């Protein structure tokens, strides 16, 4: 198994190129016409659910070195270590300042965030990443399909929501990983698993968090909902013909993962607030549930079956 590692020493030695990049950016901003320079600013996305998704949430520790730093309706997970931190997901563009404030209110520094990762490249999970990368100087890594979207800030054909997906600030530098390769920041090891279907690049993340000798296997499982624009059919399309087989592959992956704690990009999809008190972050007994990933996959399969039946003009099974 190949691994990708970010070590503190390597990050420190990157300070010069980062400084040069910002200097270049400043020069370009001066030289470019105003609309392009202004497009660097994070503009809030207005959508029907955006305000509800972006409701503030006090950050809290889930277990060991793993913290919720997302909003009340959108996941963002911080995995800390003395040699740098990993952040998974950046919410909406307007979530970025809330995520940053959550990280800092826990006593961590943005510049110690060394690696930013993503579940899938829709505006509500990747929209804040450009700003969070600027605030931290972190490396951003994504699956090849998601990386192409994040580099442009525009979804790509193949996305079932292509024609309705909001654009967002493009991420300046996005490296790609290979699924199942371990990514490391100091002692932290996270593994990306392919769970495509909701988008072709959907990624589920796993890692182990320990509190003393009590270690738990975390799964940050990507969205599995068969949501699409009206012009996309899961049963018949030319842009993502393998979508149903991809979903099935993802369900099988989710069902086989070692899964003590399931967390999802939309916390309601895994009933997070039934398991953790949103007011004080108190962890309930239900946080650990070894069957949660299997149930999540099974319910996603039922939703896809219902969607397929509807497209074929049959009653929901």
Residues that bind Zn ion (CB under 5 A): 122, 223
Q: Contact, 153 vs 171, CB < 8 A?
A: yes
Q: Which is nearer to Zn ion, 223 or 270 (CB)?
A: 223
Residue number, nearest CB to Zn ion: 122
**Smallest distance, Zn ion to C-beta of residue 131, A:** 19
CB neighbour class for 263 (10 Å; exposed up to 12, middle 13-18, buried from 19): buried
As beta bridge partners, residue 170 has: none
Q: Which is nearer to Zn ion, 65 or 146 (CB)?
A: 146
Q: Which ranges of 142-206 does DSSP label H, i.e. alpha helix? A: 144-152
Q: Which is nearer to Zn ion, 102 or 223 (CB)?
A: 223
**Smallest distance, Zn ion to C-beta of residue 227, A:** 7
Q: Which is nearer to Zn ion, 99 or 103 (CB)?
A: 99
**Smallest distance, Zn ion to C-beta of residue 274, A:** 22
Long-range contacts of 69-74 (CB under 8 A, 24+ apart): 69/99, 69/102, 69/103, 69/106, 70/95, 70/99, 70/102, 70/267, 71/95, 71/98, 71/99, 72/267, 72/278, 73/49, 73/266, 73/267, 73/268, 74/124, 74/125, 74/265, 74/266, 74/267
Q: Which is nearer to Zn ion, 121 or 138 (CB)?
A: 121
**Smallest distance, Zn ion to C-beta of residue 124, A:** 6
**Smallest distance, Zn ion to C-beta of residue 120, A:** 5
- Element at 10 (helix H, strand E): helix 8-12
Q: Which is nearer to Zn ion, 277 or 299 (CB)?
A: 299
**Smallest distance, Zn ion to C-beta of residue 236, A:** 22
Q: Which is nearer to Zn ion, 108 or 232 (CB)?
A: 232
**Smallest distance, Zn ion to C-beta of residue 269, A:** 11
Given strand 182-185, what is the order of strands in its sheet? Answer: 3-6, 182-185, 188-194, 203-211, 214-220, 261-263
- For 107-139, give the secondary structure using H, E and C: CCCHHHEEEEECCCCCHHHHCCHHHHHHHHCCE
């Amino acid at each position: 198994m190949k691994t990708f590692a970010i070590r503190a020493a390597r990050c420190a030695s990157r300070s010069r190129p980062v400084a040069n990049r910002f200097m270049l950016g400043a020069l370009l901003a001066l030289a470019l016409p105003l609309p392009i320079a202004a497009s660097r600013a994070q503009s809030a996305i207005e959508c029907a659910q955006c305000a509800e998704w972006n409701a503030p949430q006090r950050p809290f520790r889930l277990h060991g070195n793993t913290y919720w730093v997302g909003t009340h309706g959108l996941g963002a997970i911080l995995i800390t270590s003395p040699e740098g931190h990993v952040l998974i997901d950046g919410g909406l563009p307007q979530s970025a300042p809330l995520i940053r404030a959550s990280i800092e209110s826990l006593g961590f520094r943005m510049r110690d965030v060394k690696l930013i990762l993503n579940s899938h490249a829709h505006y509500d999970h990747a929209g804040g990443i450009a700003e969070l990368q600027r605030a931290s100087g972190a490396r951003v890594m994504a699956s090849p399909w998601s990386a192409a979207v994040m580099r442009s800030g525009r979804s790509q054909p193949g996305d079932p929501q292509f024609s309705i997906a909001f654009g967002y600030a493009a991420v300046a530098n996005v490296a790609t990983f290979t699924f199942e390769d371990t990514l490391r920041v100091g002692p932290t090891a996270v593994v990306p698993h392919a769970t495509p279907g909701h988008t072709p690049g959907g990624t589920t993340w796993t890692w182990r968090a320990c509190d003393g000798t009590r270690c738990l296997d975390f799964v940050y499982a990507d969205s599995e909902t068969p949501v699409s624009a009206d012009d996309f059919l899961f049963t018949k399309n030319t842009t993502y013909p393998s979508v149903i087989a991809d979903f099935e592959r993802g369900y099988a992956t989710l069902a086989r993962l070692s899964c003590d704690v399931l967390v999802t990009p939309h916390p309601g999809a895994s009933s997070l607030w039934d398991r953790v008190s949103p007011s004080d972050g108190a962890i309930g007994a239900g946080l650990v549930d070894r069957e949660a990933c299997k149930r999540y996959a099974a319910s996603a399969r039922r939703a896809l079956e219902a969607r397929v039946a509807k497209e074929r003009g049959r009653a929901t099974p």
